[in-house]
Amino acid sequence: MRSTRRRGRALALAWCVTLLVVAGGGPARAQDDPLPSWNDGPAKAAIRTFVRRVTTPGGPEYVAPPERIATFDNDGTLWSEQPMYFQLAFVLDRVKALAPKNPDWATKQPFKAALEGDAKALAASGERGLLQLLMATHAGMTTAEFDTIVRSWLASARHPRFQRPYTDLVFQPMLELLAHLRASGFKTYIVSGGGIEFMRPWTTEVYGIPPEQVVGSSIKTRFEMREGKPVLMRLPELDFIDDKAGKPVGIQKFIGRRPLAAFGNSDGDLQMLQWTAAGEGARLMLIVHHTDGEREWAYDRQSHIGRLDKALDEARAKGWTVVDMKKDWKVIYPFQR
Amino acid sequence: MRSTRRRGRALALAWCVTLLVVAGGGPARAQDDPLPSWNDGPAKAAIRTFVRRVTTPGGPEYVAPPERIATFDNDGTLWSEQPMYFQLAFVLDRVKALAPKNPDWATKQPFKAALEGDAKALAASGERGLLQLLMATHAGMTTAEFDTIVRSWLASARHPRFQRPYTDLVFQPMLELLAHLRASGFKTYIVSGGGIEFMRPWTTEVYGIPPEQVVGSSIKTRFEMREGKPVLMRLPELDFIDDKAGKPVGIQKFIGRRPLAAFGNSDGDLQMLQWTAAGEGARLMLIVHHTDGEREWAYDRQSHIGRLDKALDEARAKGWTVVDMKKDWKVIYPFQR
């Protein structure tokens, strides 16, 4: 009885495959370009070749779907990061929003500099100053409250150059790449130096990446009962910095597998790319080089934001893929299509 | 052209659904019990009812698949934890294996106690002693080396009572529950006080849970170059304790969503169950009560291992599901079928 049903099922499945392939629902055909915003060139070819190598059943470099892990840096790789990291714009806006309840900030650095938009004084406050601003705006509330704060900021904040929501400034070619990898059986992860809980509220909608596939920097949280209801309080204490040598650490901690492909744009991604490259078999290491001063921004070795220097040298020395934004991308943002 | 293809594809899909349902590959029928090792009773009914409530399309408590997160404690919930936590057996075996290279351990506590199997002296060394043993056996190697150590220990170690590999001592009814939840669109996670890298090497094979869905306690790691190759070194420093109030913290950190269902067996799981229960809509909170001194072990309020006291009271007060192992489970281990 059971084996009859099994045979019936196998037959039905075979029929389905036939029908779907005939109807064009099978493997993508050549005319269905999964990367329409990418110009033909070495970067696009490297992506297509890599995907073919690891997904061709029976091929010498075939990798089973569970092992198809792809990790993406966020700032400068999936969305823009100029004229300042978008999370820093969030910090400055939050300092302004919280200032009425903190009258001492008007005369106290680094808050005074943040309130007055004094970039020089802000820079002078250094890493310690930045950390103070971060804790004042990211801690002291529950995880649920912070989620609401991020969502409502994104709904109202506008990027100074494009006058659009920050989440509009994602790279159309990278959205296509994310979708192409997922359609090819990859699990796509963000591995960013940015705050994990700053990203999670919007990555599903914007990138198709769910909260559990976001790795980022974090502060500590504490479980407590508030009026009989459990909450997680965000504490003003660093937990983990997911940048530079922290990226492979974060990958092992959260994913526990070495990526097959990794995507970055700055020296902050170098170790993630090295860690990925050190695995066996076919791997894809890709760097987005910001070369388009007109449509986006052009910067690399000398930039304070997203500096790309050592990683560019290593990419060239080791034959990693370097995307020339200006040459390789037909459009930058979805709204330009 | 495109719309013709789309229509063709829709038609093929409709055919497939018909064929598969006719062939018996459609939704499970009543006679296909997904939990055959569970006796009929309130626990089994609670599981079936909960799954039906959250998966019935159009129903008032329907939850979309991405939100279907289920978290499972490991020790005492998915596998046994007597006469000692299995990871502690690993620690003691490793101390013995490493003793020849550490001659001073013969006279130095807590190592001497571990080598001599002196449970009393071991207990007297307290948490600090345990931590010393943990660091001596879990740190000082790369993540890849530790993976190999765990695998080879599991291949040779035998449980003292059953004389079988430790991974044989998993609970058959819980394996069925894991599979049933996954077949119902759930993503199943381990959230254990045990070491994350102690579990990851075998959870895919034993539970069908991949490395990226294992949350556990951890020590810190450091990215470094060793003879030109990047490695992650395991450091003798605690990173995160995924137990008690740490469980909701770990869930938020790694998953970023509140579970819809949580499964535990001890007071160490209480906060995870509270955190799960505090969400809106249908939730399932389940405790495995070790009541079978014959086929497994019987222990609860007075036990040093897996103490179940406060969580048992709270389960009864709040109507959470309590599994009576002796009554509710037809078999305990897969090898008893």
Whether the per-residue pLDDT at A34 is higher than 50: the answer is yes
Question: Has residue B94 got a pLDDT over 80?
Answer: yes
Q: Is B296 on the interface with A (CB under 8 A)?
A: no
Closest C-alpha to A263, from A283, A240, A293: A283
The whole-angstrom separation of Cα A74 and Cα B272 is 31
Identify the burial level of B99 via C-beta atoms within 10 angstroms of its C-beta, where 0-12 means exposed, 13-18 middle and 19 or more buried: middle
- Check CB contact under 8 Å for B256 and A197: yes
Residue B208: the pLDDT is 98
- DSSP structural state of residue A187: E
Query: Using 50, 70 and 90 to split pLDDT, how confident is the model at B336?
Result: very high
Q: What's the mean per-residue pLDDT of chain A?
A: 93
- Res A92: pLDDT: 97
Q: How far, in Å, CA of B306 to CA of B86, rounded? A: 12
Phi, psi of A202 (to 5 degrees): -130, -5
Is B11 a residue whose pLDDT tops 80?
no
CB A242 within 8 A of CB A74: no
Predicted model pTM: 0.91
Rounded (to 5) percent helix, strand, coil in chain B: 50, 20, 35
- Residue-level pLDDT at A307: 98
- In angstroms, the Cα distances linking A98 to A139, A149, B115, B183 are 13, 12, 59, 47
| B171-205 confidence digits (pLDDT tens) | 999 999 999 999 999 999 999 999 999 999 999 99
Rounded Cα distance between B201 and B188, Å, is 17
Q: How much of chain B exceeds pLDDT 90, in percent?
A: 90
Average pLDDT, chain B: 93
CB atoms within 10 A of CB A42: 13
Res A1 pLDDT > 90:
no
Site of tokens 């990798």: A63
Measured in degrees and rounded to the nearest 5, phi and psi for residue B57 equal -60, 135
pLDDT at A16 over 60: no
Q: Determine contact, residues A66/A184, Cβ cutoff 8 Å.
A: no
Interface of B with A in 272-291 (CB under 8 A): 274-275, 278
- Looking at residue B31, its pLDDT comes to 61
The answer to whether residue B137 neighbours chain A at the CB level (below 8 Å) is no
pLDDT (tens digit per residue) in A38-70: 999 999 999 999 999 999 999 999 999 999 999
Instruction: Say whether A223 sits in a helix, a strand or coil.
Output: strand
CB B27 within 8 A of CB B34: no
Of B61 and A23, more confident: B61
- Taking contacts as CB-CB distances below 8 angstroms, the residues of chain B near A221 are 249, 252-253
- Sheet containing B214-226: order of strands: B229-240, B214-226, B187-195, B69-72, B261-264, B284-289, B321-324
Structure tokens given for B26: 């459609």
| Confidence grade of residue A20 (pLDDT, cut at 50, 70, 90) | very low
Q: Is the pLDDT of residue A332 over 60?
A: yes
Name every chain A residue with its beta carbon within 8 A of the beta carbon of B255: 211-212
Task: For residue B191, list its beta bridge partners.
Answer: B215
Residue A100 has pLDDT above 50, yes or no: yes
Which member of A19, A22, A143 has the closest CB to residue B252?
A143
Q: In this predicted complex, what is the ipTM?
A: 0.90
Render pLDDT for A132-179 as a digit per residue (tens, 0 to 9): 999 999 999 999 999 999 999 999 999 999 999 999 999 999 999 999
- Cβ <8 Å between A252 and B232: yes
Within a 13 Å sphere around the CA of B221, how many CA atoms are in the beta-carbon half?
30
For residue range A276-289, list pLDDT tens digits in order: 999 999 999 999 99
Q: Is B119 on the interface with A (CB under 8 A)?
A: no
Number of residues in chain A: 337
C-alpha distance from B279 to closest chain A C-alpha (Å)? 10
Cβ–Cβ below 8 Å for A210 and B248: no
**What 3-state DSSP class applies to B284?**
strand
Task: Reply yes or no on whether the pLDDT at B27 is more than 80.
Answer: no
Contact list, A9 vs chain B (CB under 8 Å): 20, 23-25
pLDDT digits (tens, 9 = 90+) for B306-333: 999 999 999 999 999 999 999 999 999 9
Note the maximum CA span of chain B.
82
Q: Do A257 and B204 touch (CB under 8 A)?
A: no
End-to-end Cα distance, chain A: 56
Of the pLDDT bands very low, low, confident and very high (cuts 50, 70, 90), residue A215 is very high
- As given in the structure block, the two tokens for residue A240 are 């983990």
Mean pLDDT confidence for B157-168:
98
Nearest to A266 by CA among A244, A284, A295: A244
Bridge partners (DSSP) of residue A298 are A291
Which band of pLDDT confidence, cut at 50, 70 and 90, is reported for residue A31? low
* Mutation site, A19, A203, A207, A219, interface B, largest B CB count within 10 A: A19
pLDDT of B14 higher than 50: no
φ, ψ for residue B43 (rounded to 5)? -65, -50
Residue showing tokens 């959205």: A175
Asked if A252 lies within 8 A of B12 by C-beta distance, the reply is no
| DSSP-based three-state secondary structure for B125 | coil
Q: How confident is the model at residue B7 (pLDDT cuts 50, 70, 90)?
A: very low
Which residues on A lie below 8 Å from B246 (Cβ)? 223
In a 10 Å sphere around its CB, with 0-12 CB exposed, 13-18 middle and 19+ buried, how is residue A326 labelled?
middle
A104 to chain B, any CB pair closer than 8 A? The answer is no
- For residue B285, list its beta bridge partners: B262
Closest-approach residue (CA) in chain A for B219: A253
- pLDDT score of B9 more than 60: no
What is the Cα B265 distance to its own chain's centre? Answer: 11
Q: Could you report the per-residue pLDDT of B196-224, keeping only the tens digit for each?
A: 999 999 999 999 999 999 999 999 999 99
pLDDT at A87: 98
- Average pLDDT on B100-129 reads 95
SS3 B234: strand
Given B13, B220, B274, which is nearest A230 (Cβ)? B274
